[in-house]
Every structure is written in C-alpha cells, then in structure tokens.
Structure 1
Amino acid sequence: MDADDDTVSPRVIPADALRLPGSRTLRFEGVHHGSGVSFFLVTNSPGQGPGLHRHPYTETWSVLEGRATIRIGEHEVVARVGDTAVVPPDTWHRFTNTGDGDLRMICIHASPVMIQENADDAR
C-alpha cells in the first residue's frame, strides 16, 4: 500500500491463521485486518458452549448447522439452522449445542476489538 493510497489490497485470511489452539472454532478480530467487526465461527460438539458472559456492544448469531439453546438475559430460546439471535449490549448470555450433531454458528461482534466480561470473573 502506497503512503498516499488509503485503499486496502484484497486478501484472504487462511482459516488456520484464525483457529483457536486445540479447537475447531475460528476467531477473527477486525482490528488486525482493517475491519470494523469481529466474529467467532463456532464449531461445537453436543453439550459444548461458552460460559455466561457479556459485551459492551451488540452480538448477532446466525446458526449455520445444528441447534443451539441460547440464554439472553433471563430468557432462553432455541435456534436452528437459518435462525438469527441478537444480544443487546451489556446483557449476560451464553449458548449450548443441544443438538445431536455439530453446531456451526457465526457470532458477530459489532466491534473491531472483542471485549468480554465473564460472569465467573465478575463475582
């Protein structure tokens, strides 16, 4: 990129560069790639999912495969393939793969930097 040129050259970020160690899940943090959003591309086995946590921005989930039981605040919902769930800022939430096979879900963070407070840390 030229100093006078503010365009970004198209590029592909290999999945292996985003894969969490020892996991099938990918973590993309936008700030490192010139993007205003971040995301997890989750692949979880039945029973897996993160603990209760929250972010100071909106998180949007889209289920690509499987079934997720999602807690958003005091509410619990079930999302299936093609369903989308939105978590408001500062709302405690979590999800669990409650299907029989893999859960594949994209979790979009409306921030170029992921900021997360875990409920276990807040006590």
Structure 2
Amino acid sequence: MTAEISENVEGRDIGSGVSIIRERTDVDGSGPRLHQHPYAETFVVIRGRARFTIGAAEREGGAGDVLVVPADTPHKFAVIGPETYEAVHIHESDHFITEWLE
C-alpha cells in the first residue's frame, strides 16, 4: 500500500496566480469531503481513478482526464482502488480558500 502523499503549493509563495495540490494515494475511498471554492479548480488525473461529484453530477475520472469544477460549485471525490491515484489539482487563486460543506 502506498502512503497518502499530498503536497500543497500556494502561488503567492512562488509568485504565481495559481495554487496546486499534488496528490498520490492508493487508499480506496479516500478523498476530501464536500466543499467549494470561490474560484475554479481543475483536476489533471495522471494515473488511477476517482469518482468525482461536481454539483449534482457524478463522473469517473481516470488517467489522462482533465475535469474542471466551476467557481462556487460543491464538489468532492473518492479514489477507486486498488490502483494508485495520482493527480494535480489546480486552484485558480494565489492561495487556498475552501468552504467545507460536510
């Protein structure tokens, strides 16, 4: 089993207008609870799969997929194992702003 690895970089710390989360895990079902941001978030899935809830829609994302969550849209995802999920989450803000909804 791969340990959960999550690296956060806020753009303001490096002179960028975007912030990123690099995530890697093979823990089936892991992922953040429902939340939203006042800016768009883009998920670039490098490998593995996850089930995304974006507003009222559910979608599976896998290697090579790019999913965009519009600003102020509730969303969450859960890793679908046993493959390792690896992705880059791009926040269109120079710092993270998260409103947890559950």
Q: What TM-score, normalized by structure 2, do the two folds share?
A: 0.92
Q: Do the aligned residues in 2 keep the contact of 1:57 with 1:88 (CA within 8 Å)?
A: yes
Which runs of no fewer than 5 residues in structure 2 stay unpaired?
Answer: none
Displacement of 1:23 in angstroms is 4.8
Is it true that 1:76 corresponds to 2:58 in the alignment? yes
Is it true that 1:102 corresponds to 2:87 in the alignment? no
Aligned to 1:41: 22
Structure 2: distance between partners of 1:119 and 1:52: 5
Within-5 A mapping of 1:47-86 = 47-86=29-68
Could you say which structure has the larger radius of gyration? 1
Which runs of no fewer than 5 residues in structure 1 stay unpaired?
Answer: 1-21
Is it true that 1:88 corresponds to 2:77 in the alignment? no
Q: Which runs of 4+ in 1 moved over 2 A?
A: none
Relative contact order higher in (CA < 8 Å, ≥ 6 apart): 2
Aligned to 2:8: 27
Deviations 1:58-108 (A, max 9, x none): 000010010010000000000110001000000000011013121101100
Which of the pair is proportionally richer in helix? Answer: 1
Structure 2: distance between partners of 1:77 and 1:30: 28
- Count of residues in Structure 1 that have an aligned counterpart in Structure 2: 99
Q: What TM-score, normalized by structure 1, do the two folds share?
A: 0.77
Identity %: 39
Structure 2: distance between partners of 1:66 and 1:28: 22
